Structure formats: C-alpha cells, structure tokens
Amino acid sequence: MDLALGGKTVLVTGGAKGIGEAIVRELAAEGAVPVILDQDEEAGRSLRDELSAASHRCELVVGKLGEPDACRMSVETGTAEEFLLSLRRNVLHYFEMAHFALPFLREAKGAIVNISSKVAVTGQGGTSGYAASKGGILALTREWAIDLLPHEVRVNAVIPSEVITPQYGSWLNTFPNPQEKLEKIVQNIPLGRRMTTAEEVAAMVVFLLSDRAGHVTGQYLFVDGGYVHLDRAST
C-alpha cells in the first residue's frame, strides 16, 4: 500500500530490534527515511547496512535514550531507585524526544506514535515502575494531542500485548519448558490463539504516521488479537 510516506524522515526509538526493527523495515518499504535510535550499535549498523544495500535511505544514531543528549543528537542528525530508573528508561525519553523534535514536527505537520503496553490498562503485578511508565505514555499521548492541535500535529498510541520479539523470547527461556509456557499464553489470545507479530504492530504504526490516518489523533489503538477487550469466555 502506498501511504505517501516517500522521503519523509521518521525517528524510531529502539529501532534496532524487535517491534522497532519491524517499524523501520515497514517505513523503508514505504519509501520513508527511518532514523534508528538505539544503544545496540551492532544491531543498528547491521539493519542500516542491510537497508542501505537494498537502496533504502536509513540513518543510525547510537546512544542511551535515557540520556537527554542522545535524544537531542538523534533529532539533529521494586525500590524507589528502581522505580525512578524505570520511569527514565521507559517514559522520560518520550518527552525528551518530543521536546527536541517539536520545531520539526510543527514545520512538517508531522505525527507522533507512542508505543505503550497492555500493562498500562490491565496491570500485571510486581511491575509498578513499568506500569506507571506505560500509563504515563498514554496520558502524554492525550495531552500532546490537545497541545499540538493548533499545529496540526497528530499524536496517537499503539498498545500491543503479547508480541514475539527477541526480548520476549529471552523471557520465555527463563522457564523450564519455554514451549509449554508459550502454549499456555497463546490460549488467552482470542484471535487465532497466537502471538501478535512485530510486523502487525509496525503496520499499525506506519498507518498512523501516514496521511491515510489524517483525522486520527488522541487515540489508543490495541493490536493484540483481542487480548485485552474480548471476554475471557472466548478463549
């Protein structure tokens, strides 16, 4: 599908692996210019070089997104301590990225798509910092959507639930029988009894970035096979 993203620059935080990587690939396929922001230099370079070899424009900025300088550079090219660290790791860089990119977003009448998590709306237990961060992302989505209305900058959020990524695979491997654990999880996913793919999340993100979603702002879009909202009796 031609989403008219050709030549448009899109910053993708955490773009070297997992959902971020899938978003970068989808953007490149649409002719956009993805800028990968990631601390994993090896993975980022590998993805950038692969796309460049296929004649796709792609840039890479290596840095920790918890550090304001890394956010600024990318635009221009259980205890209380753990709770605060989770906030910095998972939500503060969203604010910093939007802050530094704002002049460019206003000029281009661009769009922001935040990635949250089902934990923000369901809870999980034992993850207060993470839940607060992902909930904060949803709150910022609505706040920015209002703030940026005069500039015609749209702001939306995508909420995945169970997505197969390298990080998720590593978590599964902490169990004695990873395959058994996976089978138990997918039984709670109504549509198809399967995990959501990173590519399915990426497709929604890229659509929201495009003019095809030109009158969509301040929305939370769940890409989860009905995991959060469909009655558990359906599983």
Q: What is the pLDDT of residues 150-183, one digit of tens each?
A: 999 999 999 999 998 888 899 899 999 999 999 9
Q: Tokens for 61?
A: 């900025």
pTM value?
A: 0.85
Single-letter residue type at 98:
A
Identify the architecture of domain 9-77+80-234 in CATH. 3-Layer(aba) Sandwich (3.40)
SS3 148: coil
**Intervals of the chain under pLDDT 70:** 1, 65-68, 70-71, 73-74, 76-78, 80-81, 235
Please indicate whether residue 220 is annotated as part of the active site: no
Q: Report pLDDT digits (tens) over 88-118.
A: 778 888 999 999 999 999 999 999 999 999 9
Catalytic member of 94, 130, 168, 227? 130
SS3 213: helix
